[in-house]
Amino acid sequence: MNRVEGRVKVTGLATYAAEYPVEGVTYACPVQSLIARGRVARVDVSQAMEMPGVLGVLSVDDPPELAEDADGELALFQSRDVAYRGQLIAAVVADTYENARAAADAVRVEYEPADHDVGLRADHPRLYRPDVVNPNLPADTEQGDVEAGLAGAATAVDVTYTTPVLHNNPMEPHASLALWDVEGRLLVYDSAQGASPDRDTIAKTLGLPPARVRVVSRHVGGGFGCKGTTRPQAVLAAVAARAVGRPVKVALTRQQMFDVTGYRTPTIQRLRLGADDEGRLTALEHVAYEQSSTLVEFAEQTATPARTMYAAPALRTAHRLVRLDVATPSWMRAPGECPGMYALESAIDELACAAGIDPVELRVRNDPETEPESGLPFSSRNLVACLREGARRFGWDRRDPAPGVRREGEWLIGTGVAASTYPARRRPSQAVARVRDGDFLVQVAAADIGTGARTALTRIAAETLGVAPGRVHVELGDSDLPDAPVAGGSMGTASWGSAVVRACEELMKNGKEGRADTTEEIKGESELARHAFGAQFAEVRVSAVTGEVRVPRLLGVFAAGRIVDARLARSQFVGGMTMGLGMALMEETLTDEEFGGFLRRDLAQYHVPACADVESIEAVWLDEQDDALNPMGCKGIGEIGIVGTAAAVGNAVHHATGHRVRDLPITPAKILLPAS
Ligand code: MOS
């Protein structure tokens, strides 16, 4: 299907959070810390208050009333302690955006700076093992004897990879517009990935019952995770509106997004793999080092895909965390799986090279019968079929495994493969379906962050009701609609769609209205390992002169259950693979060791792939029947496209050049390093 809101989007009629026309609106602009650690001694607002149009200033000198247990990143102006450079420490409200921004520049802050530490190292003295990693998994797992497995291996590799800080860069910057009505109920137009959880978090932060808050996010211009949790601009808009008694809009700049809307933690990952002389794993160990802030523990599940991917008699995974003077990391497309599979799938390629076994074949030989760590049967697992189909389409059988031997002029040519995986979960959701004017209205507080969720749910409802999609109208993006989980973890369609199907089934029974809540249905699920799988293939051309890497071909083959809509699905897969291409070759936020915070805080310096970087990306999928998932039989597809892409590109660069770059991104300087 074409997107049902496509027409309003391309004609500019779709209203995003910052665009709602509101009478008497005012603007808040934050003031950010210039030190990475220490205390705010004094905030001098005298000059700012004299500036034109200024209505008020909020700061630690006069903190807004918030709940005691507010999340550390949302407890605005509650503490004089500075946790990271860029943290919000004050804000100015004025009649126009320009006046607010000028006055924010005129706020003078006196600091008591302290020494900071923003550097992640694998030998950091404050590394510790978190109790759990996201979403609530054991930090460490171990079975069998890794040392014995490595000692007895015919081939072994011990390799360390690093991935940098990465930032989500949705086209629409974060924005919130807050209005309090006369009864003291708060309305927030927010750029958020879930109206219900955003409402709950805003209410909790302000110490209000959830019924006193409404969040509306009808259209969202991308999120990828950075709008999956409530961000400080929403709280700032709410407290500023309460302070000045007028509606307040906060629209973050691209630079401010880099500071306060989360980022993918940098990782250091050590992989030790051993294999027998037929390439069967004798041991697999994956240890991930990552960071969080001093405010909040965010422990990314980087090493968890190793618990699912390959059969090994000895399997150990571990996560170590260090709390630094940095902003709290957050979700970025396939948090955990994406960086974790970059390292694991690169190491598998190194093992295949060392063993002299084809990397597709090596993966096939290590495909497990049941999930290695849990022992659970898979609801469905078609990784081998993806690898075989990808190899066939890509022409893999014609590949000469020797690295660094294909050359056309200055261009070295190589191909690489990597596997992909992502969990297929769902969460409880509610939905309502009713007859309206002879057609059908479906309501659910789902979020369409540009994925086509509104369209997918229209199709799911139409198929359940047995009517044309044009007769179904889906309303989402409003917390006053039936409660629904976040658009995250590739769970949106599976979660909301389950509720929509049940509501439509109920409607067909009584002819008027159907209400659904899938809480009990999900509680009753059988225990199975539910994951989507895929195989990524890349061809690269590497300039022997400049070190430039071009990617003429990417192919992804996915097994993700039933595909609800081919056009929407292709867009998700190709989008994910494009983001993976960016991760492989260009995306990197530099940490400012000297002053704290980040360097490269705009799109001129933080490069994401543009059309010219993407030559041919093909995404296909296998028809996969899996009845143990949800009524649609679908697995999530929002994130699996990015998983494995960077490893496939890196493996292809090695095949082209004979040089293994183990630190992302693979820049020309790193390619040319061995020659210099
Ligand atoms: Mo996605 S990082 O789960 O929004």
Residue 228 CB–ligand 1 contact under 6 Å: yes
Residue 83 CB–ligand 1 contact under 6 Å: no
Which ligand 1 atom lies nearest to the CA of residue 223?
4
Separation CA 337–CA 166 (nearest Å): 14
Residue 329 CB–ligand 1 contact under 6 Å: no
> Which two structure tokens, joined as six digits, stand for 510?
């009584």
Backbone angles phi, psi at 3, to 5 degrees: -60, 135
Separation CA 525–CA 93 (nearest Å): 50
Which ligand 1 atom lies nearest to the CA of residue 488?
3
Alpha carbons within 13 A on the beta-carbon side of 228:
22
Residue 422 CB–ligand 1 contact under 6 Å: no
- Tell me if the bond preceding 423 is cis, omega within 30° of 0: no
Q: How far is the CA of 333 from the centre of ligand 1 (A)?
A: 5
Q: How far is the CA of 268 from the centre of ligand 1 (A)?
A: 21
Alpha carbons within 13 A on the beta-carbon side of 614:
17
* The Cα angle at residue 561 between residues 557 and 566, in degrees rounded to 5: 65
Q: How far is the CA of 117 from the centre of ligand 1 (A)?
A: 28
Active-site residue, selected from the candidate residues 290, 345, 350, 639? 639
> Which two structure tokens, joined as six digits, stand for 135?
């979403």
H-only helix segments in 546-631? 566-585
Query: Helix (H, G, I), strand (E, B), or coil: what is residue 323?
Result: strand
Residue 333 CB–ligand 1 contact under 6 Å: yes
| pLDDT band, residue 674 (cuts 50/70/90) | low
Residue 427 CB–ligand 1 contact under 6 Å: no
Residue 390 CB–ligand 1 contact under 6 Å: no
3-state DSSP percent of the chain in helix, strand and coil, to 5? 30, 25, 45
Task: Using alpha carbons, select from 337, 282, 278, 335 the residue that is nearest to residue 306.
Answer: 337
Backbone angles phi, psi at 118, to 5 degrees: -120, 15
Residue type, 428: P
Q: How far is the CA of 638 from the centre of ligand 1 (A)?
A: 8
Q: What is the pLDDT of residues 566-624, one digit of tens each?
A: 999 999 999 999 999 999 999 999 999 999 999 989 999 999 999 999 899 999 999 99
> Which two structure tokens, joined as six digits, stand for 49?
């208050």
Residue type, 226: C
Question: Which residues partner with 543 through β-bridges?
Answer: 411
Residue 489 CB–ligand 1 contact under 6 Å: yes
Task: Using alpha carbons, select from 505, 502, 455 the residue that is nearest to residue 476.
Answer: 455
Alpha carbons within 13 A on the beta-carbon side of 304:
22
Which ligand 1 atom lies nearest to the CA of residue 449?
4
Per-residue pLDDT, 676 = 42
342-357: average pLDDT: 98
- Evaluate if pTM is beyond 0.95: yes
With a cut of 80, say whether residue 675 has pLDDT above it. no
Beta strands 472-475 and 439-443: pairing type?
parallel
Q: What is the pLDDT of residues 188-238, one digit of tens each?
A: 999 999 999 999 999 999 999 999 999 999 999 999 999 999 999 999 999
Q: Name residues whose C-beta falls within 8 Å of residue 600's C-beta, 6 or more positions apart in sequence.
A: 258, 588, 589, 590, 606
Determine which residue's CA is closest to atom 4 belonging to ligand 1: 225
With a cut of 90, say whether residue 457 has pLDDT above it. yes
Q: How far is the CA of 418 from the centre of ligand 1 (A)?
A: 21
Query: Helix (H, G, I), strand (E, B), or coil: what is residue 495?
Result: helix
Residue 488 CB–ligand 1 contact under 6 Å: yes
Q: How far is the CA of 489 from the centre of ligand 1 (A)?
A: 5
Separation CA 647–CA 630 (nearest Å): 31
With a cut of 90, say whether residue 673 has pLDDT above it. no
Q: How far is the CA of 556 from the centre of ligand 1 (A)?
A: 20
639 labelled catalytic: yes
Buried b (16+ CB within 10 A) or exposed e, 615-654: eebbbebbebebeebbbbbbbbbbbbbbbbbbbbbbbbbb
Q: How far is the CA of 229 from the centre of ligand 1 (A)?
A: 10
Q: How far is the CA of 84 from the centre of ligand 1 (A)?
A: 24
173: left (phi over 0), alpha (psi -120 to 50) or beta: beta
Cβ atoms 165, 598 nearer than 8 A? yes
Q: For residue 467, with 0-12 CB atoms within 10 Å meaning exposed, 13-18 middle and 19 or more buried, which class applies? A: middle
Task: Using alpha carbons, select from 420, 122, 414 the residue that is nearest to residue 287.
Answer: 122
DSSP secondary structure letters along 53-81: TEEEEEETTBPPP--TT--TTT-TT--SE
Q: How far is the CA of 227 from the centre of ligand 1 (A)?
A: 9
169, 191, 220, 224: residue to mutate for ligand 1 pocket, most atoms within 8 A of CB: 224
264, 426, 639, 643: residue to mutate for ligand 1 pocket, most atoms within 8 A of CB: 639
Q: How far is the CA of 427 from the centre of ligand 1 (A)?
A: 14
Q: How far is the CA of 143 from the centre of ligand 1 (A)?
A: 30
Which ligand 1 atom lies nearest to the CA of residue 225?
4
With a cut of 80, say whether residue 473 has pLDDT above it. yes
Task: Using alpha carbons, select from 414, 188, 185, 224 the residue that is nearest to residue 333.
Answer: 224
166, 217, 331, 579: residue to mutate for ligand 1 pocket, most atoms within 8 A of CB: 331
Residue 332 CB–ligand 1 contact under 6 Å: yes
Q: What is the pLDDT of residues 36-50, one digit of tens each?
A: 999 999 999 999 999
333, 572, 640: residue to mutate for ligand 1 pocket, most atoms within 8 A of CB: 333
Residue in the structure block whose two tokens are 């989500």: 168
Which ligand 1 atom lies nearest to the CA of residue 335?
2
Which ligand 1 atom lies nearest to the CA of residue 639?
1
Cβ atoms 574, 651 nearer than 8 A? no
Mean pLDDT of the chain: 97
Q: How far is the CA of 334 from the centre of ligand 1 (A)?
A: 6
Q: What is the pLDDT of residues 72-83, one digit of tens each?
A: 999 999 999 999
Which ligand 1 atom lies nearest to the CA of residue 487?
4
Which ligand 1 atom lies nearest to the CA of residue 224?
4
Q: Name residues whose C-beta falls within 8 Å of residue 437's C-beta, 6 or more positions apart in sequence.
A: none
Alpha carbons within 13 A on the beta-carbon side of 458:
22
How far are the Cα atoms of 39, 51, 412, 551 from residue 109, in angstroms, in the given order?
Answer: 10, 17, 54, 48
Which ligand 1 atom lies nearest to the CA of residue 228?
4
Task: Using alpha carbons, select from 73, 110, 125, 131 the residue that is nearest to residue 326.
Answer: 73
Q: Residue 646: in which H helix or E strand, if any?
A: helix 645-657
Residue 331 CB–ligand 1 contact under 6 Å: yes
The two counts, helices (H) then strands (E), for the chain are 16, 28
Separation CA 532–CA 388 (nearest Å): 16
> Which two structure tokens, joined as six digits, stand for 536?
């990524």
| Whole-number percent of the chain with pLDDT over 70 | 100
Which ligand 1 atom lies nearest to the CA of residue 334?
2
Residue 310 CB–ligand 1 contact under 6 Å: no
Residue 597 CB–ligand 1 contact under 6 Å: no
Residue 225 CB–ligand 1 contact under 6 Å: yes
Residue that wins the pLDDT comparison between 614 and 386: 386
Backbone angles phi, psi at 536, to 5 degrees: -115, 130
Question: Which residues partner with 316 through β-bridges?
Answer: 142, 285
Task: Using alpha carbons, select from 486, 379, 374, 491 the residue that is nearest to residue 425.
Answer: 491
Residue 327 CB–ligand 1 contact under 6 Å: no
